[in-house]
Structure 1
Amino acid sequence: MTKFILAPLTGAILALLISTPLAARETGAITNLPLPRFVSMKASTGNVRRGPSLTHRIDWVFQRKNMPLQIIAEHGHWRRVQDREGQGGWVHYSLLSGVRTVLVEDDMLDLYMRPDPETPVTAKLEGGVIARLGKCGPEWCQLRSNGYRGWAPKARIWGVTPDEIRE
């Protein structure tokens, strides 16, 4: 009887391990959240330091609220982040938000009524615009910006991984 109970359980565990991407299994030592992961700037300005403490030199200052950033490491109250160009450094966690935003990569990006290019265009977003991220399927994500809402191809925005699905 034990064989029959363990077999489905073992199968479920194997299915979970196989279906979970390798990158999704790495977690931060401090938060136990996935690394890398996307966040946004909570503050209007934020110092980007060379190391994870106030004694480290400030390399530059992020000056754009809601800008999407990717956390690649954690140390105490500090998060190592990268922007779209791969530039980054250490930022205090209090300057970051879990609210997901994306950066429009292409100029005049069409937002569609549904995740289908045959549906009507609801808006066009300029390159560099920051939009709030909603649902994402395999190829499309729902975005909101300045009162407009629509769906855009995932490949034309930065701030979401290619295999990320959001409900």
Structure 2
Amino acid sequence: MFGAVALPLAAQETAGVETDAAMPSEDAAGAKTGKDCKPGFGCVTNLPLPRFVSLKGDEGNARRGPGLTHRIDWVFTRPGMPLMITAEFEHWRRVEDQDGAGGWVHYALLSGVRTVLITLDMAELRSKPDLRAPVEAQAEMGVIAKVIECQPDWCRISADGQKGWVEKTALWGVLPGEIIE
């Protein structure tokens, strides 16, 4: 899997690890239940769920549950990698990568800087959000790019000094119809 490394269970310390039964109470969508929670919003930040963030540093441990005593299931190793937050509990955010792999990550390891992952080989960066506009550059599948702005069907991105508009269908890290200014 690109961007996440599975750790062998034998290499992980299991002494003192909480079981899944110690997880916060969750509803069918995986959001923490409670009277302060609005449907579709995080209980801690009151921000929309799901939403996208990026990996702040070079490495981020994704744990089985929200706490340091939970086993590490994944280690994200790509700086700036876009991640989707699906739940919140105190200082922890449950995240997923493009393949659905992930777990609970401490919020200090995440950034609000919006990035996307190119999912189409040789995606075309155009001068305008129009299929007839000139191609300014191309990006290989797997490239992480910074989001400059998004319209309903296009995003303007920047990667390795190149900028251009890419169709959202070639990106992972933005919601369909999402507008970013």
- TM tier relative to shorter chain: 0.7 to 0.9
In structure 1, the residue matched to 2:150 is 136
User: Alignment identity in percent?
Assistant: 58
Alpha-carbon separation, structure 2, partners of 1:48 and 1:84: 14
Alpha-carbon separation, structure 2, partners of 1:166 and 1:47: 28
Instruction: Note the C-alpha offset of 1:77.
Output: 0.5
Choose the corresponding residue for 1:70, options 75, 84, 95. 84
Alpha-carbon separation, structure 1, partners of 2:53 and 2:100: 15
Where in structure 1 do 4 or more consecutive aligned residues deviate above 3 Å? none
Structure 2: tracts of 5 or more residues without a match: 1-37
Which residue identity lines up with residue 44 of structure 2 in the other structure? I
Choose the corresponding residue for 2:66, options 49, 52, 56. 52
Instruction: Note the C-alpha offset of 1:117.
Output: 1.6
Give the number of equivalent residue pairs: 144
In structure 2, the residue matched to 1:6 is none
Post-superposition CA distance 1:46-79 (Å, at most 9, x none): 1110000000001121101000000000001100
Q: Higher Cα Rg: structure 1 or 2? A: 1
Name the SS of the counterpart of 1:91 in structure 2. Answer: strand
Check if 1:123 corresponds to 2:137. yes
Alignment root-mean-square deviation, CA: 1.2
User: As a proportion of its length, which structure holds more helix?
Assistant: 1
In structure 2, the residue matched to 1:16 is none
Instruction: Note the C-alpha offset of 1:25.
Output: 6.1
In structure 2, the residue matched to 1:29 is 43
TM-score (norm 1): 0.84
TM-score (norm 2): 0.77
Alpha-carbon separation, structure 1, partners of 2:102 and 2:89: 15
Alpha-carbon separation, structure 2, partners of 1:114 and 1:67: 25
Check if 1:87 corresponds to 2:101. yes
Name the SS of the counterpart of 1:127 in structure 2. Answer: coil
